[in-house]
Structure 1
Amino acid sequence: MGKIAFIFPGQGAQYIGMGREISELYPSAAEVFEKANQALGFDIRDMIFNGDEETLAITENTQPAILTASIACLMPLLEAGIRPDYTAGLSLGEYGAHVLSGTFTFEDAVKIVRKRGKFMQDAVPIGLGAMAAILGLDRDVVIDICEAAQSAGVIGPANFNCPGQIVVAGETAAVNEAIRLATEKGAKRAVLLNVSAPFHCVMLEPAGEKLKAVLDEVEVHPMNIPVVANVTGKVIPSEDQVKELLIQQVSKSVLWEDCVRTMVEAGVDTFVEVGPGKVLSGFIKKIDKNLKALNVEDKASLDKTLEALKG
């Protein structure tokens, strides 16, 4: 086996009950939920385990909830002595990577992402912005489509997830124009996403400014594991760049495919998605079908992953 990377999911992966089974089996995972409750000052564990989908889907709830469930799912891997060579996360998931690396304490990170979620939601009034997934077109074509669609308003590429899956974000009229152009260019699909704000575009710059004020109050600790940043697709060279990259990340494109390729070039052949869902595992397989994609979100997936990593 080559090198291992732990990767953390982003918004959209949430579901009621995520992390529950792991927390019932591992006291260290249960403690993560307790720490989240104390840090946030409300019972987010109850929201995650017993709440409703609508409440969980509110961005300022979703972000700390996914981070909490992800770090809970991380605990059994660490207890088993499995240490990754690299780590990264999709958008919100980058905070999970920083908790794993030691850059932020979990308590600091969960408070940051609670506020991050609120800032991102508040930056653009509901209805004024949109996001769309464009499937089956090359990166260059989608960039050209965004430039052409700027005649209808602000728009840009938001996520380069994997070959043939790119998300665009911006003003609603411009996103609809991009969908029309993408369909004309022969996209397999071009569809609006069910999101509350146009994440990862210039309309979110005010959220980045507010996030800066929050990050200014937080201590950054040495990185124990190399973290690959969404904004650059490269390993973060030093701790003094961590905050600036996270501020930019709110309003800049997420270069997920680049992040994965950077880790593969460094020798990673096994990716473990830590937390709810298997979205990133799907992207990994589309980037390179020879890569091994594992995940940990419940007992069954944990057992399978531990067997694969220890075997």
Structure 2
Amino acid sequence: MTTAPTPRTALLFPGQGSQSVGMLAALPPHPAIAATLDEASERLGHDWRELDTAEALAGTRAAQLALLIAGVATARALAAEAVAVDAVLGHSVGAFPAAVAAGVLDFADALRLVALRGERMARLFPAGYGMAAVLGLPARTLRDLVARARASGDLYLSNYNAPRQIVVAGAEPALDALCRLAVEAGARKAERLAVATLSHCPLLEPVADALAGAIAAMPVRPPRLLYASARRARVLTEAPAIAQDLARNVAEPVLWHDAVELLVERGMELFLQAPPGTVLADLLVEAHPDMRVRQAEALLR
């Protein structure tokens, strides 16, 4: 009797906007997850439950830390259950749990970096800025609309999640103007996202500089898994390149669709999405209806 070959598997980690109240408490009851939550509490100096409330998750620091913790906990539990993962890819702050899962960063250092990232982002733009998603328009059309809406304030294309699902970042008046223009141009939907500040645009250069300085003092190792960058839509194999990727991704666009296509071309046959939510899985199913896509936590219950 022959055993079916193990499919080449990629683990995807979501970014800010995917957080939900109680997301950490809702993780599967697994020893590796419990240990990761305890470690996070010890390293942060406060109980992880303080991150899991509606009030906390409305803030950038708590939301990003919760996503990091959920991703690392899930990756560790999968490893404990001998679920083989061949590649990792993170959306925005999801790059940090991807780096921990690939052995690039220690979890303790990732917690420090993500806390710094969230704190600096919130401090730089405490109010008046945000992000919006536009569905149904190609990038070339949206670029023209962004140029028109910039009359109302800073505005940038920030996340290329799918050919016709693109996120923009900028000042609230410009976002409102862009949403109106997009609907007039035939967009299926144009709406603000549940994020407390903006990201993935040149306005975040000071945050990228702070992260680069912090990560320079930390041990960063070559990945033991295939590490795909959503910032460059490339596989990165050297520790310095991944360190730069982690620091810079906050100030540069997310090339999510291209990064996923890269993994498909690299022969990935099964995609698992780490919690919370199903956003990344839904994008993948839309682009590749025949691809095997599952929620990672379903393998742990």
Do both share a fold (TM > 0.5)? Answer: yes
Give the aligned residue type for 2:59.
I
- Asked if the contact 1:5–1:272 (Cα under 8 Å) also holds between the matched residues in 2, the reply is yes
- Asked if the contact 2:132–2:167 (Cα under 8 Å) also holds between the matched residues in 1, the reply is yes
2:299 is matched with which residue?
302
SS at match of 2:251: coil
1:116 is matched with which residue?
117
Provide the C-alpha distance between the structure 2 equivalents of 1:67 and 1:153, rounded to a whole number of angstroms. 32
Provide the C-alpha distance between the structure 2 equivalents of 1:76 and 1:166, rounded to a whole number of angstroms. 32
SS at match of 2:269: strand
Residues 3-152 of structure 1: matches in 2 within 5 Å? 3-20=8-25, 22=27, 24=29, 26-44=30-48, 46-48=49-51, 51-127=52-128, 129-152=129-152
TM-score (norm 1): 0.89
1:309 is matched with which residue?
none
RMSD over aligned Cα atoms: 1.8
In the alignment, structure 1 residue 232 sits paired with structure 2 residue 229? no
Q: Alpha-carbon deviation of 1:137? A: 0.7
Q: In the superposition, relative to structure 1, how do residues 91 and 196 fare at CA in structure 2: closer, same or farther (>3 Å)?
A: same
SS at match of 1:227: strand
Stretches of structure 1 lacking an aligned partner (at least 5 in a row) = 305-311
> Higher mean Cα deviation, 228-237 or 86-95?
228-237
TM-score (norm 2): 0.92
Q: Alpha-carbon deviation of 1:53? A: 0.8
Q: Any runs of at least 4 consecutive aligned residues in structure 1 with deviations exceeding 3 A, and if so which?
A: 19-24
Task: List per-residue Cα deviations over 1:171-216 (Å, max 9, x = no partner).
Answer: 2222222222212211011112232212111221121122222212
Task: List per-residue Cα deviations over 1:206-256 (Å, max 9, x = no partner).
Answer: 211222222122110121011111211111142111122222211111111
- Asked if the contact 2:16–2:195 (Cα under 8 Å) also holds between the matched residues in 1, the reply is no
Q: Alpha-carbon deviation of 1:22? A: 4.7
- Asked if the contact 1:7–1:271 (Cα under 8 Å) also holds between the matched residues in 2, the reply is yes
Q: In the superposition, relative to structure 1, how do residues 145 and 257 fare at CA in structure 2: closer, same or farther (>3 Å)?
A: same
Provide the C-alpha distance between the structure 2 equivalents of 1:259 and 1:114, rounded to a whole number of angstroms. 26
Identity of matched residues, % = 32
Provide the C-alpha distance between the structure 2 equivalents of 1:34 and 1:265, rounded to a whole number of angstroms. 38
Provide the C-alpha distance between the structure 2 equivalents of 1:192 and 1:224, rounded to a whole number of angstroms. 38
Give the aligned residue type for 1:226.
L
1:192 is matched with which residue?
192
- Asked if the contact 2:76–2:101 (Cα under 8 Å) also holds between the matched residues in 1, the reply is no
Give the aligned residue type for 2:254.
V
Aligned length: 296
- Asked if the contact 2:17–2:193 (Cα under 8 Å) also holds between the matched residues in 1, the reply is no
- Asked if the contact 1:19–1:73 (Cα under 8 Å) also holds between the matched residues in 2, the reply is no
- Asked if the contact 1:19–1:70 (Cα under 8 Å) also holds between the matched residues in 2, the reply is no
SS at match of 2:228: coil
- Asked if the contact 1:158–1:168 (Cα under 8 Å) also holds between the matched residues in 2, the reply is yes
Provide the C-alpha distance between the structure 1 equivalents of 2:64 and 2:78, rounded to a whole number of angstroms. 22
Q: Alpha-carbon deviation of 1:23? A: 5.7
Q: Alpha-carbon deviation of 1:138? A: 1.1
Provide the C-alpha distance between the structure 2 equivalents of 1:243 and 1:254, rounded to a whole number of angstroms. 16
1:265 is matched with which residue?
265
